Structure 1
Amino acid sequence: MNVSLILIVVMAVLFACGVYAMLERSLTRVLIGFLLLGNAANLLLLVVMGRPGVAPFYGAGEAASDPLPQALTLTAIVITFAVSAFLLALIYRSWQLGQADTVTDDEADIAVRERSLAAEETMDDEAELMGDDATTDFVGVDTAPITVLGSRDVPGIVDDAPADRPLRGPRDRGDDS
């Protein structure tokens, strides 16, 4: 097997395990899944980098390696570390409050789940009644949220300056102040 094929297989397994672990209700497993996804993303960037070469600033005649995937990998490592630290703090706080790190359904979640099917059917019925010619609130000039003012609409501005000289201050506008 080729080295890149082994990396691709390992990357695919890490992605699959990471997604499977993130679908659990335990926050610790979500953290493990996120770490697996971060490592899989780093392997993806390693595979995309291609064949290794010399440093881009070393020589012009030889094949140089692409520095962009290396920079993206370092960025992905930093982001994975930051989100992992946040998830660890979230898990610790959840453990302090409930002595468990599993996410459970509360009454509001159950009510939303029961309500969603009936509300979805109601929205479908309303969409059929409205048809394709739905109206908007911003039809006329009176109801428009943005009003464009010209220089004549603003009090205190007079357009009596010559066309070749731009307005500079209050005296040019006709104000006596």
Structure 2
Amino acid sequence: MDGGEFCRSDNPTVQDLVNNFTGSGILIYTSSTGGSAISATTALQNGVTYYGASVNGTTGCESSERLAVVAKVEFCGIPEGFSPNGDGINDRFVIPDIAETFPNYSIEIFNRWGNAVFKGNASTPDWDGISNQSGTLGNDVLPVGVYFYILNYNDGQTTPVQGKLYLSI
């Protein structure tokens, strides 16, 4: 069944899985037969098979078969911008869960002239708009504008991605 894919940064629960089923009165189990239904507030785990059963609202009878769903709780999405203005909101370029999913990742960020302004990985802080590369003018937040990145997952199978992001103040 589709509907078992979730972003780790959303902290998905069993209720999110239930919401992807059609109908009402859905119970979720961790086994295809027997056992007790698990709580709607239970956090979903990546790669775990969950089993959904429907309960008839009139009779209260549970379906005799359970539908298997493998949960995919994974890394999702790269932001398109940030605003390092010190207001405490979106002050850093953060790629949610990248270090957990791809612990060997590396990222390079370039200005519009192709000069590297930031290089980072799982052991460096998220980009705050200030260059960490020598030869860049100034020690302050870089100018407003479009910057380009190359994200290398370094896992031996995922193709690197290139993209752009907007630095706003």
After TM superposition, the score normalised by the length of structure 2 is: 0.24
Going by fraction, where is helix more abundant, 1 or 2?
Answer: 1
Q: Which structure ranks higher in relative contact order (CA pairs < 8 Å, sequence separation ≥ 6)?
A: 2
Greater Cα radius of gyration, structure 1 or 2: 1
After TM superposition, the score normalised by the length of structure 1 is: 0.23
Going by fraction, where is strand more abundant, 1 or 2?
Answer: 2
